[in-house]
């Protein structure tokens, strides 16, 4: 009998496994059907920020940023506070971002408007000729998804967590309103608590177990250039389109921009994306058309109706917990989600009131949360 079985070996599942092991939560098993990080985690940009517009996102992400710093100190995870820079090229967007900044500042996130000289210092290879304003977030940063998963996996394993990679969970066994474990093939793996942190797969797995999630996997695209020297430190965002670009720890430029996709669509590459991402970023990165794009991939955002995650226990099923629906913010939130879920499992309630508002029950009760600062 396991004390906790975690389904899903992305950043959320691995972070939770490490957290539970640190807190001596007993016998823990993590099951991953593919390879660790092989879902959305290794397809994400690695950006980390608290500059959102909802109390839930801001408060939880401020704590997550503290925990990212602890991961760097304890495990040597590649993480740095290199900032976010929102590049504005239309006058009509300025007042909107002034209001966002007022919200950030009211929660202690010190975003501020910066001048062209500042932009040139932190982003020397960004062309500012079309810039009318820029908002900077000094609290934000980035981490390496590969490093974060691998080092937490090694640490969790050294503390006794068992990992079963390449084993697909068919369903959660629910009897008389209580989760009893997970079913893999013909085998029941018994557990006192089950956590489903399987990203986009969560909706299908829990449906087979009688639990419906208001969650839709939506394909998102990203491309990676060849390696360069220092081009820009912050993750940069084109406000007009919501496109992002970040220079990785190795010097590659990772870029994303939204293209039209249907929920539950298969993740397939599209020439339209490459044309749009190069066209969008050529406004700011005028050297981009001469660069080589080395890789292009598609992953899922698992999107909820209010773009906030689904966390915590499932009403009507004792000992079953979920952590999914991050809508593109799962990597940055993983440390605080692990902390909150570990506390929930141990004591029956989370550490913060903000996490308590993110349960599945909010959709049935009509308590959706508003968030404006979602980027693609």
Considering the domain architecture, whether residues 260 and 129 belong to the same structural domain is answered as yes
Start-to-end CA distance of the chain, whole Å, equals: 42
Q: Is the pLDDT of residue 114 over 60?
A: yes
Residue 128 clears pLDDT 80, i.e. is over it = yes
Q: Using the 3D structure, point to which of 303, 319, 337 is the last residue of a domain.
A: 303
CA distances from 289 to 129, 278, 304 (A): 17, 7, 35
Of 303, 318, 352, the one marking the end of a domain is: 303
Residues 325 and 263 in one domain: no
What is the chain's mean pLDDT, rounded? 96
User: What is the model's pLDDT at position 105?
Assistant: 97
Nearest CA to 179 out of 189, 166, 168 is that of: 189
CATH number at residue 101: 3.30.9.10
User: Both 150 and 299 in a single domain?
Assistant: no
CATH (domain of 150): 3.50.50.60
Last residue of a domain, one of 303, 324, 345: 303
- How big is the CA angle at 338 (ends 337 and 339), to the nearest 5 degrees? 90
Measuring CA to CA, which residue among 253, 248, 257 is closest to residue 277? Answer: 257
Are 127 and 232 in a shared domain? yes
Q: How far apart are CA 342 and CA 349, in angstroms?
A: 10
Provide CB contacts within 8 A for 294, sequence distance 6+. Answer: 224, 225, 226, 252
Other Cβ atoms within 10 Å of 115 Cβ, number: 11
User: Which pLDDT band holds residue 372 (cuts at 50, 70, 90)?
Assistant: confident
Residue 56 lies in a domain: no
Residue 371: the pLDDT is 76
Q: Is residue 315 classed as helix, strand or coil in its secondary structure?
A: coil
Q: Is 188 helix (H, G, I), strand (E, B) or coil?
A: strand
The total of other beta-carbon atoms located within 10 Å of residue 8's CB is 27
Record the tokens describing residue 98, joined without a space: 């002034």
Q: Do the domain assignments include residue 207?
A: yes
Q: Is residue 63 domain-resident?
A: no
| Domain span holding position 348 | 2-47+145-215+305-365
Q: Mean pLDDT, to the nearest integer, of 170-186?
A: 95
Beta strands in the chain (DSSP E): 2-7, 28-32, 47-48, 79-80, 84-88, 112-113, 133-137, 141-143, 162-165, 171-175, 178-184, 187-196, 216-227, 235-238, 243-247, 252-256, 293-303, 310-314, 317-324
- The total of structural domains in the chain comes to 2
The answer on 315 and 292 residing in a single domain is: no
* CA gap 34, 161 in Å, rounded: 18
Share of the chain above pLDDT 70, in %: 99
Radius of gyration of the chain (CA): 20
pLDDT-derived band at 373, boundaries 50, 70, 90: low
DSSP state of 33: S
Structural contact between residues 340 and 350, judged by C-beta atoms closer than 8 angstroms: yes
Instruction: Tell whether 185 and 292 lie within a shared domain.
Output: no
The band of 55, judged by pLDDT with boundaries at 50, 70 and 90, is very high
Q: 299 with 155, same domain?
A: no
pLDDT at 121 over 60: yes
pLDDT per position as a tens digit, 197-213 = 999 999 999 999 899 99
Q: CB–CB of 171/209 below 8 Å? A: yes
Identify whether residues 33 and 173 lie together within a single domain: yes
Residue 321 lies in a domain: yes
């Amino acid at each position: 009998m396991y004390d906790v079985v975690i389904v899903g070996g992305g950043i959320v599942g691995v972070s939770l496994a490490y957290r539970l092991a640190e807190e001596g939560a007993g016998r823990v098993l993590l099951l991953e059907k593919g390879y660790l990080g092989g879902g959305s985690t290794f397809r994400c940009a690695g950006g980390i920020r608290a500059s959102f517009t909802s109390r839930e996102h801001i408060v939880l992400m401020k704590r997550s940023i503290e925990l990212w710093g602890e991961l760097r100190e304890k495990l040597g995870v590649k993480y740095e506070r290199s900032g976010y820079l929102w590049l504005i090229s239309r006058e009509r967007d300025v007042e909107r971002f002034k209001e966002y900044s007022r919200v950030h500042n009211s929660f202690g996130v010190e975003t501020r408007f910066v001048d062209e000289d500042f932009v040139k210092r932190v982003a020397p290879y960004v062309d500012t000729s079309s810039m009318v304003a820029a908002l900077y977030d000094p609290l934000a940063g980035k981490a390496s998804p590969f490093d974060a998963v691998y080092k937490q996996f090694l640490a969790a394993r050294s503390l006794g967590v068992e990992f079963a990679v390449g084993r697909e969970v068919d369903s959660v066994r629910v009897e008389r309103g209580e989760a009893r474990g997970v079913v893999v093939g013909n085998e029941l793996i018994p557990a006192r608590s089950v956590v489903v942190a399987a990203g986009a797969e969560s909706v299908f797995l829990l449906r087979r177990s009688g639990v419906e999630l208001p969650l839709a996997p939506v394909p998102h695209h990203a491309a990676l250039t060849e390696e360069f020297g220092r081009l820009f430190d912050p993750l940069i965002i084109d406000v007009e389109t919501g496109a992002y670009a970040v220079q990785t720890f190795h010097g590659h430029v990772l870029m994303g921009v939204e293209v039209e996709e249907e929920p539950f669509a298969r993740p397939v590459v599209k020439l339209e994306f490459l044309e749009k991402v190069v066209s969008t970023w050529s406004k700011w990165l005028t050297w981009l058309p001469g660069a080589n794009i080395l890789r292009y991939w598609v992953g899922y955002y698992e999107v909820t109706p209010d773009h906030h995650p689904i966390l915590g226990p499932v009403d009507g099923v004792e000992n079953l917990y979920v952590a999914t629906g991050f809508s593109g913010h799962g990597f940055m939130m993983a440390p605080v989600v692990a902390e909150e879920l570990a506390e929930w499992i141990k004591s029956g309630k989370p550490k913060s009131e903000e996490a308590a508002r993110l349960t599945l029950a909010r959709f049935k009760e009509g308590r959706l949360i508003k968030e404006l600062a979602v980027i693609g």
